[in-house]
Amino acid sequence: MTPEILVIGGGIFGLTAALELSARQYRVMLIDSGPLPYPLAASTDISKVVRMEYGADALYMELVEESIAGWKTWNAEFGEDLYHQVGVMMLTHAPLMAGDFEYESYHLARKRGHDSQRMDSATIARRYPAWNAPLYVDGFLNPTGGYVESGRIIEELVKKTKRVGVEIIEHETAAQLIEREGRIVGVQTEAGHEFLATEQVVVTGGAWTMLLVPELANFLSATGHPVFHVKPSDPDLFEARHFPVFCADISNTGWYGFPRHPHQKVVKIGNHGIGQKLNAARDPRVVTPDDERRLREFLRGTFPALADCEIVYTRRCLYCDTPDGDFLISRHPNRPGLSVATGDSGHGFKFGPVLGRIVADAVEGLANDTTSRFYWRDLSAETYADASRWLDDTRRHS
């Protein structure tokens, strides 16, 4: 039987959308290049940050608050703690000032009742011995937040999606949308197969989205960002009890990371910066010697005990960027039958428990705060609003 909804892409956007749409009594099919979890997808890897800090942006903080409740519910449902509430620490090289990302994040969290605790160099030295404390003079720890084991979550969501009756088709790479009588009705795959839907086709392809919806090519961009898994010689220094998820003056450096992983036994460190422009389907995603040089420079200054550590794995995490850093979750305004849910801009996974609702609301054309915020829009590529992301001087001041 032809499904009512066809979802293209099985990452965190697609799986949660399929789950929610199925819960709303739609017949849903999901296709993906597969296998799921797809190794090249942004949704995989061992961990993703769950932080509520978005400067003065209350909507995102509210959504993360809801998401954290959802992560805890999934922990109970899956019978395993895949969300780890170890806290998120944001430290800066200079004192916090009004208007700064960290300052606004700290004060909004306090206003909303979160017990964010201000930090100075002396406190850092006393409580967090891995840090080069004199280099960081201000910041805070929010005990609400942490990280989620992202690849494992995708595995569990695939199982859950199948259990509720969504048909998942793997190893089918979408090649082009099918339009009939002025309406998008399905997709043709590289293998020549057609998959159709009676109501909506929902593209949740991350950085592949613009390959299927080429009119978005001037709005979305694919960028790759270096990620390192390193092996500490003194593991105890990097255990979660005194090494929470961190952002190290992230607006000015891009560096963030995680405590020692409970299963992989590595410390994951990445750079949330301007990245390297890529074609999702064509370009290799390799970490360069210059990326490693910058990592070593950061480690020497911030975590001396990791300065000469072994790098056991690298990857270039693929973002799908929007010019303003907001998601693009919307019906297509000019192509009936088509919806898109994309634009993670490197910060989407943490919203996993609420993404399905946001996408389903957009597919159904409901009006609310999220559908109006993430609606189809036209922005210059020079626009950028993610204050947590390190940008070069040209983009920051454009």
Structure confidence at residue 311 (pLDDT): 98
Looking at the predicted structure, is the pLDDT value of residue 288 above 90?
yes
111/274 Cα distance (integer angstroms): 31
Looking at the predicted structure, is the pLDDT value of residue 266 above 60?
yes
Looking at the predicted structure, is the pLDDT value of residue 394 above 60?
no
Return the percent helix, strand and coil in the chain, to nearest 5.
35, 25, 40
Rg for the chain, CA atoms, rounded: 21
Segment 196-209, tens digit of pLDDT: 999 999 999 999 99
Segment 67-102, tens digit of pLDDT: 999 999 999 999 999 999 999 999 999 999 999 999
In sequence order, the 6+-apart residues with CB closer than 8 A to the CB of 70 are 352, 353, 354
| Res. 395 pLDDT band, cuts 50 70 90 | very low
116/216 Cα distance (integer angstroms): 39
152/258 Cα distance (integer angstroms): 16
What DSSP state is assigned to residue 153?
A: H
Q: Is-contact 7 23, C-beta < 8 A?
A: no
Q: How many percent of the chain have pLDDT more than 70?
A: 97
Cα distance from N-terminal residue to C-terminal residue, the chain:
52
Q: Is-contact 148 349, C-beta < 8 A?
A: yes
- Return the bridge partners of 247, or none: 90, 256
- Walk me through the domains of the chain, giving residue ranges and CATH numbers: 5-43+151-220+323-383+390-396 (3.50.50.60), 67-146+221-321 (3.30.9.10)
Residue 344 burial (10 A CB sphere; 0-12, 13-18, 19+): buried
Looking at the predicted structure, is the pLDDT value of residue 21 above 60?
yes
Structure confidence at residue 398 (pLDDT): 34
357/222 Cα distance (integer angstroms): 25
| Average pLDDT for the chain | 95
| Res. 41 pLDDT band, cuts 50 70 90 | confident
Looking at the predicted structure, is the pLDDT value of residue 328 above 60?
yes
**Identity of the residue numbered 221:** S
Structure confidence at residue 397 (pLDDT): 34
Print the SS3 string covering 217-283: CCCCEEEEEEEEEEECCCHHHHCHHHCCEEEECHHHHCEEECCCCCCCCCEEEEECCCCEECCCCCC
Looking at the predicted structure, is the pLDDT value of residue 49 above 60?
yes
Looking at the predicted structure, is the pLDDT value of residue 363 above 80?
yes
Which residue would you say has higher pLDDT here, 280 or 23?
Answer: 23
State mean pLDDT over 268-278. 95
Task: Provide the whole-model pTM.
Answer: 0.95
Looking at the predicted structure, is the pLDDT value of residue 387 above 90?
no
Structure confidence at residue 381 (pLDDT): 55
Structure confidence at residue 378 (pLDDT): 83
Looking at the predicted structure, is the pLDDT value of residue 117 above 80?
yes
| Res. 114 pLDDT band, cuts 50 70 90 | very high
3-state secondary structure of 330: strand
228/393 Cα distance (integer angstroms): 25
Looking at the predicted structure, is the pLDDT value of residue 195 above 70?
yes
Structure confidence at residue 392 (pLDDT): 65
344 closest CA partner among 254, 246, 222? 222
